[in-house]
């Protein structure tokens, strides 16, 4: 199984997300991660879609996405020529005596403590998937109360392949 990360530039209109997700579900393809947000030009949104499968299936996914009328551009974000990031929020049970230790773990990863409660801390971290997994691994010694991950988002490096739409 291989992994593909696609950056889609799509029309910023209602139903686009449904049509993209529907393409995957109708064909039995899995979406590992999906993020969407408006671009600097409010007419367009950028979707970052991560999927896994055999090379032929991944090629078919890209071809099918190109056929959707809402999709204006597609780039495959390859590991060496792209930047990927993900955000995670982790709420950990931590009493007064444990807060220092949890904060020290957060500091190792350059994570930020974004909320402190009487018996919990919430840590925020951005980075690649392996960095986030490593943080979770260390925090498993504590009681993880809640965890939320945004999914992968990314852009290609440099300005050579930037597409400007009219």
- Segments in the chain below pLDDT 70: 164-166
pTM score, whole prediction: 0.85
The rounded radius of gyration (Å) of the Cα atoms in the chain is: 19
CA distance 137 to 30: 25
Which residue, chain included where needed, has tokens 């209602």?
14
CA distance 115 to 112: 9
Cα distances from 146 to residues 93, 107, 135, in angstroms, run 9, 20, 14
Cα distances from 91 to residues 56, 66, 113, 115, 122, in angstroms, run 40, 39, 10, 9, 4
CA distance 119 to 77: 41
Q: How much is the pLDDT for 166?
A: 65
Q: What are phi and psi of 52, to 5 degrees?
A: -125, 150
Q: Are β-strands 71-76 and 112-116 bridged in parallel, bridged antiparallel, or unpaired?
A: unpaired
Q: How much is the pLDDT for 162?
A: 73
């Amino acid at each position: 199984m291989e992994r593909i990360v696609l950056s889609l530039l799509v029309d910023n209109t209602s139903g686009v997300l449904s049509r993209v997700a529907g393409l995957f579900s109708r064909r039995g393809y899995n979406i590992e991660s999906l993020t969407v947000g408006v671009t600097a030009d409010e007419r367009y949104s950028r979707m970052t879609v991560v999927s896994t499968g055999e090379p032929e299936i991944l090629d078919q996914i890209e071809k099918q996405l190109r056929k959707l009328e809402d999709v204006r551009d597609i780039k495959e974000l390859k590991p060496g020529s792209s930047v990927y990031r993900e955000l995670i929020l982790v709420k950990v049970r931590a009493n007064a005596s444990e807060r220092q230790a949890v904060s020290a773990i957060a500091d190792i990863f350059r994570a930020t403590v974004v909320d402190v409660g009487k018996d919990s801390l919430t840590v925020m971290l951005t980075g690649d998937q392996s960095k986030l997994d490593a943080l979770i691994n260390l925090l498993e010694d504590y009681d993880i109360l809640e965890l939320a991950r945004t999914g992968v988002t990314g852009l290609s490096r440099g300005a050579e392949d930037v597409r400007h739409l009219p």
